[in-house]
Chains A and B, each alone.
Chain A
Amino acid sequence: MSSQTNSPTSAAPLDLSKWRKVPMILMIVGGIGAVAGFFVDQHQFGFSWLLAFMFFLSLCLGGLGLTILHHLFDASWSVPVRRIYEHLAFLLPVMAVLFLPIAYLAPKMYPWMQLVKEHTPDHSIKEKFPLFTIPSFYIVAMICFAVWAFLSYKLRYWSLKQDQTGSVECTRKMRRFSAVGVFLFAVTLTLAAIMWMKALQHEWFSTMYGVWYFAGSMWITIFTVYSITALLKRQGPLREVATEKTFYYIGSLMFAFTVFYAYITFFQYFIIWNANMPEETFWYLARENGTWFQIGILIIFGHFFIPFLTLLRIDIKLSWIMIPLGVWAWLMHFVDISFNIMPVKHPQGFVVHWMDLACLAFIGGVLATVFLKYLNAHPIIPQKDPRFAEAMDIYVGDQYVEAATARGIDPKHGGNK
């Protein structure tokens, strides 16, 4: 029923030839800035890099999470956009390389590492033994990247394999990897959020921190997927397959994760506020200093209320407003990650340092280049996915069911017998 939006004349493709060099320019300019930053002030560079790294890591992990969820729910509607998820997820091996500056600078950035090195670990570090030891920091990083690289590689490998063979076995493989993967994903994501962000103030603890990072990751990734899908539809590749339904469902997920993020973020605050214990409240007190207070308010309104009220209506989910909203979401996610990392470096208030921008430009440029390479190298959609006809609202007639039954496949159970 989306004949209007599907007609080839709906909107002419944009001329993007001028923009093709943008990732390369970002990479070069950002790279120069980052290298200069490294030599000017390693401490500031470390924090700027960590900020940019955690920002983009959430995008890659969100891609992995969405791929896993797609398989676990045996979803049909997201088949046309799944390749975008898979490519985003497979940026994780690149992130492993981009982690090297953090690995190198960690002893300077994380106060707990200095305490351990000086053999004066405080009670809060001892209680977290053996996680908060220097070897553990590196082992955790290796485990996380190994798991992410493995899962994102396998999920994409079998998906690409299916493009050629069309075998239902590929779907089963992806399902199995997802079933195991969802647990590995939850554990590694939580470890990463704890070790790389929360450990900046190691005395603090919040059992919701991993979930908080997950919620933000999924949120920003879905907003990004919407914009990428809209662009690919406009430019042609997804014109016939990304329908109104696709956009409506992505929009609904955006709405759901806007609420979920707010729920997690609020209750982390609320539980600490309610218990009113100094070993927890200090973390929020540091974030009421100077302009950090206003940033906190901005997150409440900009990260929750604005997207929430905008996404309430059904028709908005299909309108042009979604694109500026996606840009706004990137801004809010940046502010949110900054709110979590930067008060350690800049306790007096919110600062956008030039090194922040350089690191963001560099990592963003690298990831965009690799992502575009992936997009060009592989079919834009999972071509022979068994759920594809269903995603396109095409009714598969009885003759196919009979043919499947004749081949010993039970068509009623998604090909599984």
Chain B
Amino acid sequence: MAETPQVYGIVAEFETPAAAMHAAEKVRDTGFRKWDVFTPYPVHGMDKAMGLKNSKVGWFSFIGGVTGYTSGMLMIWWMNAVDYPIIIGGKPMFSPFGAFPPCYELTILLGAFGALGGMLFLNRLPRLHHPLLRNRRFALVTHDRFFVVIETADPKYSETETRKLLESLGSKHIELVEE
């Protein structure tokens, strides 16, 4: 296939977290939607600078937890009171007190599964390749550089304007990344 390679996005390199944070605030205020910031370590306040809302992972773990609790209760009720009733210690066939500890643990288990699965689902991991990994300078993101990446898929993207914006924010190295 001899197609001309598609451009994935534009990568701007910054040298300090403050510069990257400032750039992120500007990019956010310009109204971009499909963009991201990459840093060697978590930068406090970056979520706000990027205008990110609280992650939705919590909902996955909440639903997982509720599922775990109710399925545990139903399972124990069905096994002990319906399918195979045995009297133990003169206690009722089914009691929420006796059933609580396993249900509690199922709540935690499925809650954790929900958190893990929800996280992988939302950030689309694992993936085998990402266009940015082909960019040589981008490897510095694990060392001491900070990158702002704006995708071409963003409706506001324009090669000249976006490049100008990133230059005005103080980036010394701006490159296009191919798909």
- A-B complex is real: yes
Listed in ascending order, the chain A residues whose CB lies under 8 Å from chain B are: 1, 266, 269-270, 273-274, 276, 312, 314-315, 393
Q: Is the CB of B97 within 8 A of A276?
A: no
Given contacts A276-B89, A315-B54, contact A270 B100 (CB under 8 A): yes
Q: Is the CB of B44 within 8 A of A314?
A: no
Quote the shortest CB–CB distance from B36 to chain A (angstroms).
19
| Interface 1/0 per residue, B34-67 and A, CB below 8 Å | 0000000000110010000010001000100000
Q: Which residues of B contact A269 (CB under 8 A)?
A: 97
Select from chain A the residue with minimum beta-carbon distance to B95: A273
Q: Which residues of B contact A273 (CB under 8 A)?
A: 97-98
Q: What bracket does the count of chain B residues touching chain A fall in?
A: 10 to 19
Q: Is the CB of B54 within 8 A of A274?
A: no
Select from chain B the residue with minimum beta-carbon distance to A276: B89
Q: Which residues of A contact B101 (CB under 8 A)?
A: 270
Known pairs A1-B45, A270-B98, A315-B54. 11 more at Cβ < 8 A? A1-B48, A270-B97, A270-B100, A270-B101, A273-B97, A274-B97, A274-B98, A276-B89, A312-B62, A314-B54, A393-B44
**Is residue B91 contacting chain A, with contact meaning CB distance below 8 A?**
yes
Quote the shortest CB–CB distance from A369 to chain B (angstroms).
41
What separation, in Å, do the CA atoms of A107 and B90 have in the docked complex? 40
Quote the shortest CB–CB distance from B7 to chain A (angstroms).
33
Quote the shortest CB–CB distance from A62 to chain B (angstroms).
26
Q: Which residues of B contact A315 (CB under 8 A)?
A: 54
Select from chain B the residue with minimum beta-carbon distance to A313: B58
| Interface 1/0 per residue, B105-116 and A, CB below 8 Å | 000000000000
Select from chain B the residue with minimum beta-carbon distance to A263: B104
Quote the shortest CB–CB distance from B47 to chain A (angstroms).
9
What separation, in Å, do the CA atoms of A393 and B43 have in the docked complex? 12
Given contacts A276-B90, A276-B91, A315-B54, contact A266 B100 (CB under 8 A): yes
Write 16 A-B pairs (CB below 8 A) sorted by A numbering. A1-B44, A1-B45, A1-B48, A266-B100, A269-B97, A270-B97, A273-B97, A273-B98, A274-B97, A274-B98, A276-B90, A276-B91, A312-B62, A314-B58, A315-B54, A393-B44
